[in-house]
Amino acid sequence: MEQIELRYPGLNPVFFIGASSGGVKALEFLAQRLPEDFPSPLFFLLHRRREGADTSQMLHSILASKTKLKVVVAEAGHPVNGGTIYLPQDNRHLALEDNRIVLLEKPDTEEWRPSIDVLFKSGAREYKERAISVLLTGKLDDGVEGLRETTFQGGITIAQSPADAYDPHLPLNALLNDHPLYVLPLKDMPKLFCELAHHHMASDQRDVAGQAAIAARRIKQDPAAIDLPENRPGTS
């Protein structure tokens, strides 16, 4: 697929997607189901502890075998292109500046490197209302501050339904601390992404955003309405 450089980034939303426990399968699912002419860039980040195992090439191999989109391990200074999935390098934070890739060793106070929060915050400050930050399955709260920054900058925030997540803790923390605009199961996210990216869809796909927004408002009004999974990791 021919790359489309975002010379005018304001014309395209940019997706930032973070996960931890159970995240490989979740990211694989999304990559496999997005259409090959998907117009926006996507940043997939599986957070890892500093000096942890090298996984970027492994994740690249998995995703590249499942999608027709271009999958690359991010290189410093490269422009951000549409129709591309970007992965972080091992033991480096991934950030953006002037619509180009930036790789960072700091902040070294972060427990995670790469960190979801660092990516989400940088993406929100770079792309403002065009930033779309998504938290999937995982433990703890890396990414929650980044969601808040995305909201502050006027972007869109999305969380996987805790009941649908392999590990519900990360999306649950998102719901309790940020009140994302959309809450939905993983299976509906490719449709929502297409809708937000203004990609052509079949008529039966057009109500996904509305349903996810209703779910988010219901949870904001009553946190007790959050559906929690049964017999999932860490819930018993």
pLDDT in tens, 143-187: 999 999 999 999 999 999 999 999 999 999 999 988 899 999 999
The predicted-structure confidence for 93-146, as pLDDT tens digits, reads as follows: 999 999 999 999 876 656 778 999 999 999 999 999 999 999 999 999 999 999
Type of residue found at 190: P
Look up residue 82 and give its amino acid: G
Could you confirm whether domain 4-225 is CATH 3.40.50.300? no
Handedness of CA 200, 161, 86, 68 (dihedral sign): negative
Peptide bond into 107 cis (omega under 30): yes
Strand pairing category for 131-135 and 14-19: parallel
Burial class (CB in 10 A: 0-12, 13-18, 19+), 29: middle
Give me the active site residues, please: 20, 47, 142
Domain ranges, ordered by start, for the chain: 4-225
Helix (H, G, I), strand (E, B) or coil at 131: strand
- Which tens digit of pLDDT belongs to each residue from 1-19? 344 444 444 578 999 999 9
> Which residue has better confidence, 207 or 160?
160
CA dihedral over 208, 219, 169, 105, signed as positive or negative: positive
Q: How does pLDDT run across 59-80, given as a tens digit for each residue? A: 999 999 999 999 999 999 999 9
Residue of 151, 202, 156 whose CA lies nearest to 183? 156
Its pTM stands at: 0.86
